Copies of this chain bind each other. A is one copy, B any other.
Amino acid sequence: MPIFGSWSKAFCNLHEVAHDLARIAKIRWDIGYQPPAVSSSCSFPPELIMPTELSRRARKLTSSVIREILKVTASPDVISFAGGIPAPETFPVDLLHTACEQIFAEEAREALQYSLTEGFLPLRQWIASRHSADVDQVLITTGSQQALDLLAKALLDPGVTVLVESPTYLGALQAFSLFEPSFRELPCDDAGICTAELTPADAADARLAYLMPNFQNPTGRLMSAERRHDVCRLMGDAGVLIVEDDPYGELGFNGQRLQSLRSIHPEGVAYLGSFSKVLAPGLRVGYVVAPAWLTAKLTQLKQAADLHSSTFDQRLAYRVLASGALPAQIDTIRKLYASRCDAMLQALQASMAAEVRWNRPEGGMFIWLNLPPQCDSHLLLQKSIAVAQSTRVAFVPGAPFHAVAPRSDCLRLSFVTVDAERIRIGICQLAENIRTM
């Protein structure tokens, strides 16, 4: 089961457009995929499906064919660089076990009861203190993903302009798209948004800018300090709210952090944090720190969305944080990820053809690969996961990470869940597959 976990994080349903379907159907056959049989216990005949009209947004959703395929590839013999999930050996199991014991000994009934929509107060206070914020600015969310949904509900009407990086996190595109905005991709390079190329007109009609300055998903890039100030000034002047999504900020390999956008421009930034990458994602504990007026709106919206996040899991996370164990925990993760990143960079250097290019991440979980122009990453995936291959390798094609203009000559590699030896074998095979495309 856990190997499937990546797909809910790693893929969305927005970009499997019609022209992909034929290609995908071909992949299904190549990998020996059989669609599930219609269940005999279903009580409705096929001709009766969809008797009710769907909303406009729901009619636009297409089925996630890529997600289906990658479920098929989630077998132990596939070397998967496709996941967006942390390395489970880093989970602080003993600390969480101790926290559990304490909860059952001291506050079992409180931890199992309904609680405030805003979240567990000591946890909010811990976060507020860490972010130099007032506790009223902090809302606990069911993972950072929920913060994206709530922000979309609070800010987006059909046709409103949303500024995004190119490429960007596809879970954000998925959450925002349901509220039918118009996306505008901002030009980016290895240091993030190319602020020198932006004019006030680029932001003038926008309502929010979605940015991931630290070790971005999918590229792994870090926005430079200078660009952080530039983008805050630009968006501040235009009255555009910045959504600063920061799940990987603690995962800088050298342990240093650049200034957050929120610390530069607190009145214009909604900061999204998460304990998924430093404690454990299964607990679904994330948070938003925003101007108080916005946090109040998000809280009202959260009440309608799920009343509150798990009382038990919030208290579990809080006890580990309050124990002071987080810095050592983060240090362990950084060291493991740095060594695996290094292994992947060495393997890429040793095996890739000259036309293939990649970045050198300083933290996070991902490397972004630019293929030769004629090389299509969907076809490359098809080839790489085919059952006929002696070494099967999975990754995520780059197209779905683009809001407006999908590019197929790029892909995302995660280096965190595969050990160094299998990284070397997998990258070597991938290089061979690219050379023979």
Contact = CB atoms under 8 A, between A and B. Distances in A.
Interface of A: 1-2, 4-9, 12-13, 36, 39, 41-44, 48-58, 61, 63-64, 84-86, 88-89, 91, 93, 96-97, 100, 104, 108-117, 120-121, 132-134, 136-137, 141-143, 145-146, 148-149, 153-157, 160, 171, 174-175, 177-179, 207-208, 239-241, 266-268, 276, 280-284, 291-294, 296-297, 300-301, 303-313, 316
Contacts of A142: 142, 284, 306, 309-310
Contact of A282 (B53, B89, B312): B312
A54 B153 CA distance: 9
A93 B113 contact: no
A9 B307 CA distance: 6
B155 A52 contact: yes
The 6 A-B pairs at the shortest CB distance, nearest first, are namely A282-B311, A5-B114, A112-B280, A44-B267, A39-B134, A88-B109
Which residue, A39, A54, A85, A282, has most C-beta atoms of chain B within 10 A?
A282
Given A41-B133, A52-B155, A52-B208, 5 more contacts: A1-B110, A48-B267, A55-B153, A93-B104, A284-B308
B8 A296 contact: no
Contact of A304 (B93, B104, B145, B282): B145
Nearest to A268: B51
Contacts of A143: 306-307
Contacts of A178: 153, 301, 304
Contact of A303 (B12, B157, B297): B12
A55 B179 contact: yes
Contact of A283 (B5, B63, B112, B307): B112
Nearest to A148: B304
A104 B108 contact: no
A337 B137 CA distance: 39
A44 B296 CA distance: 15
Nearest to A64: B300
A100 B104 contact: yes
A279 to B, nearest CB: 8
A56 to B, nearest CB: 5
A325 B305 CA distance: 30
Which residue, A2, A36, A89, A174, has most C-beta atoms of chain B within 10 A?
A2
21 contacts: A1-B116, A1-B120, A2-B109, A8-B307, A8-B308, A41-B134, A42-B134, A44-B267, A49-B292, A51-B267, A53-B155, A54-B154, A58-B153, A58-B154, A91-B109, A96-B108, A100-B104, A149-B305, A282-B312, A284-B309, A284-B311
B42 A114 contact: no
Contacts of A208: 52
A134 B38 CA distance: 10
B114 A104 contact: no
B174 A114 contact: no
